[in-house]
Structure 1
């Protein structure tokens, strides 16, 4: 498969990471509001390491978490993309879709727009059979994005995240799924 280095939606460019993205990315990942559904905000060093892992995923798989840039301003606003799930769970092996946007870009439909574009690449170009997404039970904003892009939740798939400590309020996660057939129905339905 040819690597997918850039995608476009109506208002966004989904592109490879640039070194200049680090300050805005680190600020976003240090924001307690952005990171409220994660165990802790990230330091600048942890954010830089995450960019390194994302670049490694692209090198290995040909896709990953694309940096999001607004077409109208060229501003970096976060990421959206596809990644191989890196832990063992009842639903793995699997490819997940995820997103994280800077707070000032919330509520404008960017997460759904970029996620829809990533799903299209996953099914059309990567030829995935299914994509999953998961988040803590309390993360209703991300669950709304999952629903907006046609994903389906079945409570029997919910799980305890192996990388979140037992007893932590974010330990329990919900799992959403969408198959290629469901996605095609959403397109033509």
Structure 2
């Protein structure tokens, strides 16, 4: 089983017990504000998400990790890698992403998880390049992307929702472990 330990976090595959805490995160309108059309997701939709994320692990050899706090064992959200099929213009890219519950914001967990995920992508999985797709105006995510050393590649528009997106990238030669 693929796991990554950081000083404060365990990034791991999904357990059945993770459904309820992830559903609670997805039900928070503050968390979901920057995702898709901003709609919250219910328990059934979250279960479908986790099932899809686990399938991506099996098919691609990477996916979205559950992010667990080492100190408490709480599931704080996810961080990981996915193929951004919703945005064909960037394919065959692999994108890094994260989503944490609002009670975990502002503590550096997302940046810690994202850095570990990027290192996993470029050093363990042998990817040459990783992108980040960020909705313009999401300054918190933009800050994490900057901390990762990713640079703006181009701007585009979400093909379904029509809002502007920033596409950032980093390649293996630019990454600082």
Structure 2: distance between partners of 1:163 and 1:132: 20
- SS across alignment from 1:163: coil
State the alpha-carbon separation in 2 of the partners of residues 161 and 43 from structure 1. 23
Secondary structure at the aligned position of 1:33 is classed as helix
Match of 1:139 in 2: 138
Written as runs of structure 1 = structure 2, the 5 A alignment for 1:15-164 is 15-38=12-35, 39=37, 40-154=39-153, 157-164=154-161
Q: CA deviation at 1:87?
A: 2.9
Match of 2:10 in 1: 13
Q: Partners of 1:14 and 1:141 in 2: how far apart?
A: 21
CA distance in 1, matches of 2:149, 2:87: 25
Question: For each residue in 1:11-67, what CA deviation from the matched residue of structure 2 results, as whole angstroms up to 9, or x when unmatched?
Answer: 100011011111110010010000111211112111111001001001111210000
Q: Distance in 1 between matches of 2:9 and 2:3?
A: 11
Check whether the contact 1:5–1:63 (CA below 8 A) recurs between aligned residues.
Answer: no
| Structure with the greater alpha carbon radius of gyration | 1
d(CA) in 2 for partners of 1:180 and 1:43?
A: 37
Detail structure 1 runs of 4+ shifted over 2 Å in the superposition.
Answer: 87-91
How far off is 1:71 after superposition?
A: 0.7
Runs of 5+ unmatched residues, structure 1: none
**Runs of 5+ in structure 2 lacking a partner?**
none
TM-score, normalised relative to structure 2: 0.95
Q: TM-score, normalised by structure 1?
A: 0.89
